[in-house]
Amino acid sequence: MAKAFEILAPTTKISLSLSTNRSLFYSPNVVSKRICCSNTSRAPRFISKGCKLVGCGSALPNLQVSNDDLTKVMDTSDEWISSRTGIRNRRILSGNETLTDLAVEAANKALQMAKVEPDDVDLLLFCSSTPEHLFGGAPMIQKALGCKENPPAFDIRAACSGFLLGLISASCYIRGGGFKNVLVIGADSISRYVDWMDKRTCVLFGDAAGAILVQACDSEEDGVFSFDLHTDGNGNRHLDVGIKQNETNLANGSVMGFPNTRPSFSDFQMNGSEVFRFAVKAVPQTIEASLAKAGLKLSDMDWLLIHQANQRIIDRVAVELEFPKDKVISNLENYGNTSAASIPLALDEAVRSGRVKKGQTILTAGFGAGLTWASAIVRWG
């Protein structure tokens, strides 16, 4: 039998609070129309809601590779690596470990902290540029979590900016789509795509997964105050993993008119100096934009957490902003650049150690391939 439900007709404006200082105006109203429909979606539309971060989790591979370990296979040293990057150790997927396993472990920890069951997840966003399936890893994660209600699950590919884009997307789905629980997972295994003989790039990366549960709340409790995001395709040449054609055996390929090739990915390519110049300029600018949109000041921020790419970048951004060094979150020394996992991994460690406390405000920013960069001001808990 067809079920009746109500939708709101867009006739008058109501205010949706983004922070204590700003409002976003929507157009759904008080006048409703009653209609019949044979199928209803899980999430009602036009819901004026806030959103908050209520759970986090992370997961790491078992294999730890130190700078000293790398000196055994290449011409480098602990001093050379650490002085240029701030990195001393990283974790690498090995044996039977998979990125999907890490993502599921991180997601389960976030759900447990939030006290939310997998069946109550309305949307799963898998932020990864290195999924183990060509068509995306989110469906496999949804399956492994045991989400029986079949919530939508899909990938976001933006490399090191991916998690922040996922977090921003989650807030938009909650505010504009009526979703209640959105699971955002950042996970990458860049180690699979680096040339382990190229000391300029391979020493930088580690593998990991991190997850955040973003939950709908009353607008007064809103914990995502503002965001700012950008992409400049002209910068893609500075940070890329391109497709290359490999010879393979395709019977009668030339006769049928298509080449005897099959594509695969090249090794990771990066112009480190250009990425450094880009990051130390773009990150402070996007942070200042998010602060202006929220009507907040740097002095209102409890923590600064930016993508863990290079300690020199983190330090330079803090200096540019004149942000107190003791309020900058960094775990780069232990894990290296974990791409989309870096922000949720660092946040999870800071929360579970008691360093970041409920109600504190975090200024966060990501930057990476694309070139893509973004920032957001969020409150924990």
How many other C-beta atoms can be found within 10 angstroms of the C-beta atom of residue 231? 16
User: Is the distance from CB of 324 to CB of 267 less than 8 angstroms?
Assistant: no
Q: Please check whether residue 226 is in contact with residue 294, taking contact to mean a CB–CB distance below 8 angstroms.
A: yes
Q: Are 161 and 372 in contact (CB under 8 A)?
A: yes
Closest CA to 184 of 143, 125, 140, 142: 125
Could you give the residue numbers annotated as active site? 160, 307, 337
**Per-residue model confidence (pLDDT) at position 196:** 84
Query: The tokens 């105050």 sit on which residue?
Result: 225
Q: Encoding tokens for residue 333?
A: 């020394």
Q: Are 183 and 110 in contact (CB under 8 A)?
A: yes
Q: Which of 163, 242, 194, 219 is nearest to 22 (CA)?
A: 219
Task: Tell me the angle at which helices 342-352 and 99-114 cross, rounded to the nearest 10 degrees.
Answer: 40
Q: What are phi and psi of 362, to 5 degrees?
A: -120, 130
Q: How far apart are CA 214 and CA 36, in angstroms?
A: 32
Would you state the pLDDT for residue 18?
40
What was the pLDDT predicted at 320?
A: 96
The residue assigned the tokens 């998010």 is: 290
pLDDT (0 to 100) of residue 21:
38
CA gap 175, 239 in Å, rounded: 33
Say whether 286 sits in a helix, a strand or coil. Answer: helix
- Tell me the β-bridge partners of 376: 227, 364
How far is the C-alpha of 104 from the C-alpha of 51, rounded, in Å? 23
The 3 state secondary structure assigned to 165-224 is: HHHHHHHHHHHHHCCCEEEEEEEECHHHHCCCCCCCCHHHECCEEEEEEEEEECHHHCCE
Q: Structural domain boundaries of the chain? A: 3-37, 50-235+269-379
50-235+269-379: CATH topology? Peroxisomal Thiolase; Chain A, domain 1 (3.40.47)
Per-residue pLDDT at 236: 60
Per-10-residue mean pLDDT for the chain, 381 residues long? 35 36 35 35 58 98 97 94 96 96 98 98 96 90 94 94 96 94 97 83 93 96 96 66 55 54 56 79 96 97 97 96 97 97 98 98 91 95 94
How many other CB atoms sit within 10 Å of the CB of residue 22? 15
Using CA atoms in the order 348, 353, 355, 359, what is the torsion angle rounded to 10 degrees? 60
